[in-house]
Amino acid sequence: MTTTWSKLICRAEKLLGGPAPFINLSSILSSEAGSLASRARRLAGNVDHPFFSTVRSCLRGKSVNNLFSISSTLSDRFSASVTSERPSGGLIVLLVGQSYTSPTNSTKLYSQHRSISEIFETVHTAVAIHKSLVDLNDLHQNTGDNDESWLKNMEICNKLATLSGDVLLASVSTSLAELHHDKVVDVISEAIGNMIEAEFHELATNANLETININSVVTKWLSFVQLSRGALLGSCCEAALHLTEKHITNLSAIPTDKIYPDWNNLSSIVKRFGSTWACLTRLTEEREHIQRTWSTDQTADAYWSTKKEMRCSKRNIFAYHPSVIPHYSEFGLNEPTFADALLTSLSLSRTRYKLIDVIDKILSEYNQIGCELAEKLREYFTLIVLNSEQCSTYSYTNPYHTQKTTKYSPSTELLGEMVDKLISDCNCSP
């Protein structure tokens, strides 16, 4: 019987003692934050601002939004996509962190790993909320709405989005400070900077699109996804390992020189593993979106002039003609995809062709990139297994004695099954 994601996630939650943490709202609901929430509730029923669809999606613990429809005024720019059934990034962080804790099984260390998992979710949510800001000048030009009250409410929602994202990021700063680990602060801060940098990437801003060619599409897309998705997951996995290193090296009874020969190398491995996992997940979700929304039967005889039909929205997000290329979105916000970049490059060399030929080309390119990412993911996981086995060579039996064992941790074993499942979803076998 084929293993499903729901079964793997259920096993992981049993192993970890519960689901991966999400945002700890109780820790940030100060009087000021409560005032923001009260103001947002009053506006939610009257204003169709992407801030609300983003928040609704986040509070349900979803990485993408398809739960709440929005008005036709904005639907062309803020579309929905299908909710992912795959494990959250926070769950991957916990499994990676627990792969190296078998010598100690420390409750304190596990609590710290859960804090890193919570930080991952909080940062993602904060950045998504900040991205939900709407350019009111562009919106007014596109909709032609002259209702001053409506525009004022949209402006208020922009302010709510800004302040809400700031409150979440402030809570992240507090959580990082409580961990008392300089390296953890550094790697998470760098990841947040990378996510902000992704907002100015040429695929996100539509800058220099005329210079894109087929040979550079893969490189540009990978650089964008590594910044926007891979950086944070990779850095959180690395942060979890740094916390494990600090904990184990403080236990004098554990011969750490034999367990971990090179912490820096291990940190690099888990960081690349987390980043590659995020990139392959994104690639798989994009391809599934294309296969789900582009019906071969409907497009077999269709012709399409890319130079005439392709257009970019003023929101700095790729937005093609909805009858041809339905939008891919995360948190209810349109996201540039590899297919977008590839179609842009094709438009420089062709002006008219069968759409079915384009779909075949795009899916073929997705498969090729998927195989390359799957091979890297398998390589990094193999290195994690080797080091996890070395870590588990010593099991902590009492404060004065260590005993050899040969089996690596259950977290590592389960993580391996998830790697197999993700590669299977991508239909790639390295």
Please write down the long-range contacts of 403-408, taking CB distance under 8 Å and 24 or more positions apart: 408/99, 408/102
The pLDDT of residue 328: 77
pLDDT, one tens digit for every residue, the chain (430 residues): 467 899 999 999 999 988 888 876 665 656 566 677 777 777 777 777 888 888 777 766 443 333 233 333 333 333 344 456 889 999 999 999 888 765 555 788 889 999 999 999 999 989 999 988 888 776 665 555 557 787 888 888 898 889 888 988 999 999 999 999 999 999 999 999 999 999 988 888 776 665 666 678 888 899 999 999 999 999 999 999 999 888 877 765 555 445 555 778 889 999 999 999 999 999 999 988 888 776 544 444 443 333 333 333 333 333 333 334 556 777 667 788 888 787 777 666 555 555 566 778 888 889 999 999 999 999 999 998 887 666 554 444 433 333 444 456 788 899 999 999 999 998 765 4
Q: Which residues pair with 151 in a beta bridge?
A: none
Domains, the chain, with CATH or none: 5-426 (1.10.600.10)
The span from the CA of 230 to the CA of 223, in Å, is 9
The span from the CA of 117 to the CA of 325, in Å, is 34
Question: What pTM value is reported for the model?
Answer: 0.81
SS (H, E, C) 20-87: CCCCCHHHCCCHHHHHHHHHHHHHHCCCCCHHHHHHHHHHCCCCCCCCCCCCHHHHCCCCCCCCCCCC
| Residue 12 Cα distances to 19, 62, 303, angstroms | 8, 18, 47
Quote the DSSP letter at residue 353: E
Mapped onto helix, strand or coil, the DSSP state of residue 258 is: helix
Residues 6+ apart with CB under 8 A from 153: 43, 46, 47, 49
Answer yes or no: are the C-beta atoms of 411 and 98 closer than 8 Å: yes
Mapped onto helix, strand or coil, the DSSP state of residue 12 is: helix
